[in-house]
Structure 1
């Protein structure tokens, strides 16, 4: 799990760096990304509040950040 998590963090940073030109040039792309992130965070936070299993609460809490 640790190797998997470290790989995902590195891949995420690499992907952001590679797509930096898209985010700089397109206001529309930034707006879409902002809304998708905000809706995802809100949904995961809400789903975490209604869970009874501690593992799921932690998982949804992590996803919401």
Structure 2
């Protein structure tokens, strides 16, 4: 395998793992009872839907960075 291809695969795997880690952290945060009781602003729902509509490589940041 060419070095540049190997680097590209490694970078994609790292980005995927970072994204997945962020998603898991956000889900763990959201499942807490004190967080679940808080209302979610409509603009956060819009941002979340827009993020979920994108494929993983194009997501700007983990969902955990969204405000609530």
Into which bin does the TM-score normalised by the smaller protein fall?
0.3 to 0.5
Which protein has the bigger helix share? 1
Higher relative contact order (CA 8 A, sep 6+): 2
